[in-house]
Amino acid sequence: MRMIEVCFVTKAWRAGAAWVAQMTVQAIAEQGASVAMIAPLAEPSTREPRHPNLVRILVGRELTEGGTGLTRALASLRRVVGTWRAVVWMRARTRTYVFSIPDPLIFTLPLLIVLRLSGARVIFLVHDAVPHAFRFSGVLRSVELATHKLSYRLANLLIVMTKALRDELVEKHGLSSAKIVVIPHGAFKIEPVAPCPGSGRFFLFGTFRRNKSVLEAIKAVILVRRSDPSVSLMLAGEPHPHELDYWQECQGAMLMDPAAFDVKVGFLPDEELPAYIVDVDAFLLAYRDFNSQSGVGVLAGLAGRPVIGTRAGGLSELFDDGLSGIQIEGPPTPESIASAIRAFRVQPIDHWRHLASHAAVKLEGALSWNAIAMRYLGFVRRD
C-alpha cells in the first residue's frame, strides 16, 4: 500500500476557505508529492483537485439551503462520521494531517487527541484566531474560546496566512512563535476581466458581518452621493448566520437612498464573478478587528481592480506586496470611508487601470501556489 506524505482535511467545499485547500492540494501533487484530501466535492467541480499523486476521499456536504432542522443536522452528522472514518483509515498510510476549517470542535478535538496519541503529526491551518461571530454568549462563550485554544495546543504546528494573525496568537493566546509559521494566501484563478470601466460603482463582496464595516460602507456611499450622485455600491454575498440582526440594520440603512445600491443576497458562484467585477471600478474592504488574510482582497488584485480598504490584517500585507488602491485613514467610519472614496474618484480611471494592471502581475508572482506548496512540503518532510 502506497504511503501518503500528507493528508488534508476540511469540511469546506466552496468559497475562499475551500479554494485555499483545493489549490494547495493541487499544487502539492504537481510538485511530485503524494497527497490525500478528505473533503466534500468542490463547487464548482472545475475547482476539484485532480492529479495521479492525489488520493481523493469524498465526504458529504452540509445543507446550506432548504431542508428541515433535522435533515440539516443529519447531513452534517453524516459528514462528521464520514470524516472520522476516513481520517482513521488514512492513519495506516500517512503520518501528517493538515486540518483547515474542520468540523465543529466538539467533534474535531477528540479526533485530534486520537491522532496525537497514535503518533501522528497535526498541522492546523488557522484562518482566524477566534470566530468572526461567536455561537454562544455568557459562560458558554468562555467554553467556546477554550476549545479554540485547546485545538491550537493539540497541533504540532500552526500555519497562518498573515504576520498579524501570528502576532495575535502569540500575544492573546500565549502560543510560542516557534510553533507558528506564515504562509501567504495563494493567487485565485479567475477568468480574465476587462479593465476598470469608470462606472463609479464599487463592490462589497463576501460574507456580510460587523467586522467588515458593511453598515459604515453603506452610510459612506450615501454621504458621497450628495456631491457625486454617479457613485453606487454593489453588494453580493451572504449575511453571517450569527449576525442576521446586523444585516437587517444594513438593509434599513439602504432604504435612505435605494438607488445607490444593487444587492445580491446568496452565494455567488465562480462563473458569475467576472460579470459582477467587470462593472465595478474598485472593491470596498473596510475591515476592522481583522488579522486574517483577505481572500477577497487577493481576488480583487488579481482581477485588476484596486481596493479601497483599511490596513487590517492581511490587507496591510497585500498593499505592501503591490495591491493598488486607496487606504482608509483611521477607523472605518462613514466619514473616513467616504473620504477614501472621494480620493479615489479624484484620480482619472486610466490612472487606476495602469496601477491595477501592474498590481495583478506583482501579486501573481508573490502568491505563487508552487512556492506555497514547497513551503508546506518543507514542514511535512521535516523529521
Report the alpha-carbon distance of residue 29 to residue 54 in Å, rounded: 6
Quote the radius of gyration of the chain (alpha carbons, Å).
Answer: 21
If you search the block for the grid coordinates 454568549, which residue do you land on? Answer: 137
Q: What is the pLDDT of residue 176?
A: 86
What nine digits make up the cell of 372? 506555497
What pLDDT does residue 68 have?
75
Distance separating alpha carbons of residues 293 and 152, to the nearest angstrom: 18
- Residues of the chain short of pLDDT 50, as ranges, are none
How many angstroms from the chain centroid is the CA of residue 138? 28
- Residue 330, by phi and psi: left (phi above 0), alpha (psi -120 to 50) or beta? left
pLDDT, position 246:
93
Domains located in the chain, CATH noted: 6-185+368-380 (3.40.50.2000), 201-366 (3.40.50.2000)
Q: What is the pLDDT of residues 107-130, one digit of tens each?
A: 889 999 999 999 999 999 988 776
pTM of the model: 0.75
